[in-house]
Structure 1
Amino acid sequence: MGSKNHGNYTNPCLTMHQPWASLLVYGIKRVEGRSWPSPVRGRLWIHAAGKVPEPETIKAIEDFYREIYAVNGITDLKFPEHYPVSKLLGAVEVVGCVKCDELVCWQEVPEGVRLEGQTDFCWLCEQPQKLLIPFEMRGYQRVYNLEKKIYQAAVRGLRPVHAPFPVKFPLPNPRDPFSLKPGSLASYLSGLEVSEVEKSPSLSAAIAGARAAAAQFLKKQFDTNEKGDLLKSTESSHCGENSSS
């Protein structure tokens, strides 16, 4: 992986919330959306954050993937039985990153994949692998390096996943593994008419439901963090009063 990656990462890892983390490792989710471009290429380890997903969130996201896979004729989608938290789950290969408006117009990839573009930057993922036994570890924000001892234990337990509809993202320049980056498709797509996927009522409802679930999740996360910061601030002021007395 070392020569294929770039940036100051040796064994990069990304902590994600459930159910999105498991769906990526199982190969169901092929595009990871972020508000910032991917700083890595090559293997990216996936860690599930500690927050237990609510049943309605799982249902909304699973419904979303059922509908976008149905666009490509896949109707027997099998989801993970469990969505473990606070565990290292597996890895994917990040082959590129493009802007959302590039992905949704990119006719060389299946329609269902284009529908996964819901955020500013789309990390394009292939070759999912999962750990035979996910193991507990602490996560961090953004992309970080796995500890050496964790990597050495985890890499032996990786096994390929038979994704329901694997996708190969074509590189603009096959000789350059880093050519699939934000803006790289702009000139290629400039002469093409935008070809939007025709959305059925059920597909539109699933997309809206997934967006609402993600927005609600982020709101709850923000509220929790805000309360935590307030509690820490209160505790700090109390500690200050106690230490000065």
Structure 2
Amino acid sequence: MGSRRGTEFSNYRNPCLTMHQPWASLLVYGIKRIEGRSWPAPIRGRLWIHAASKVPEPETIKAMEDFYREIYAMNGITDVKFPEHYPFSRLLGCVDVVGCVTCEELVSWEAIPESVRIEGQTAFCWLCEQPQRLVVPFEMRGYQGVYNLERKIYEAAVRGLSSVKPPLPVKFPLPNPADRFSLKPGSLASSSNCSTVSEEEKSPSLVAAIAGARAAATQFSKNNNTLQSTSRENIEDGEKPVSSRTRNKLHEEVR
């Protein structure tokens, strides 16, 4: 088991993930704490975030900002500072992926704020901490899945990082602090008691905000049968994680 895990993660030196806007910037600014995917997080530690080339629609930005205003209000935070701009085709910054749990585990995890639990809308939830953003995002191309950042890009980017003060910093408790992989799908199942906000308890504005966020994400779920299909890249990426070796052969660029 241990040797297989070492092999699985050995291909990732400076892992990067390409995301659509506005989700990419919301994650780097610490507003978004959960990155939802249809597959478990293949890494722990620093994950660079790159914004895909699709220009976000104003309606999409509004839907996601409304969603986060509503869920932060659940924790008494009513003044969320959103990014002034949502750049595309740019490397934006990074977060630390500290674990991965299932949606069912996240929504019933009482040790974390209710607003974080509301973010669990996908099969697997990547838990993100310590956001940092690039003072000057710079242009680069992205690929599907998790891939290695080019060394020259990494060396330039790591010097341009700036700390971010999230609206509500979250520290996800690890089941075993000595094992950074202890927080994985299934690790919280025994303590899960399905305690979350029921549909009846949700305010009309929160229900509308959740529906709007889901609708915004579904615009990327249409399969156009091409290699450049983003396949639910934001709310649920249908692509399986691909190793850097395989990706170098395929060169499946996110357009």
TM-score range (shorter-chain normalised) is 0.7 to 0.9
Structure 2 residue ranges without an equivalent (≥5): 1-5, 230-255
Q: Indicate the residue corresponding to 2:64 in structure 1.
A: 61
Query: Displacement of 1:227 after TM fit?
Result: 11
Contact 2:13 2:148 in 1 (8 A): yes
Aligned residue type for 1:21: A
Identical pairs, percent: 75
**d(CA) in 1 for partners of 2:134 and 2:87?**
12
Aligned residue type for 1:24: L
**d(CA) in 1 for partners of 2:45 and 2:227?**
37
Query: Displacement of 1:173 after TM fit?
Result: 1.1
Kindly indicate whether residue 128 of structure 2 is the aligned counterpart of residue 121 of structure 1: no
Structure 1 residue ranges without an equivalent (≥5): 230-245
Contact 1:37 1:182 in 2 (8 A): yes
32, 35, 57: which one pairs with 2:35? Answer: 32
The structure with the greater share of residues assigned to helix is 1
Contact 2:114 2:196 in 1 (8 A): no
Q: Indicate the residue corresponding to 1:112 in structure 2.
A: 115
TM norm structure 2: 0.83
Q: Indicate the residue corresponding to 2:202 in structure 1.
A: 199
**d(CA) in 1 for partners of 2:14 and 2:170?**
24
Query: Displacement of 1:194 after TM fit?
Result: 2.8
Q: Indicate the residue corresponding to 1:82 in structure 2.
A: 85
**d(CA) in 2 for partners of 1:228 and 1:11?**
23
| Map 1:39-188 → 2, pairs under 5 A | 39-188=42-191
Aligned length: 221
RMSD of aligned Cα (Å): 1.9
**d(CA) in 2 for partners of 1:111 and 1:73?**
11
Q: Structure 1 residues 156, 205: CA separation in 2 closer, same or farther (over 3 Å shift)?
A: same
**d(CA) in 2 for partners of 1:180 and 1:212?**
30
Higher relative contact order (CA 8 A, sep 6+): 2
Contact 2:64 2:213 in 1 (8 A): yes
TM norm structure 1: 0.86
Query: Displacement of 1:196 after TM fit?
Result: 2.6
Query: Displacement of 1:226 after TM fit?
Result: 4.8
Contact 1:7 1:40 in 2 (8 A): no
Deviates more, 1:91-100 or 1:196-205: 196-205
What SS does the corresponding residue of 1:8 show, helix, strand or coil? coil
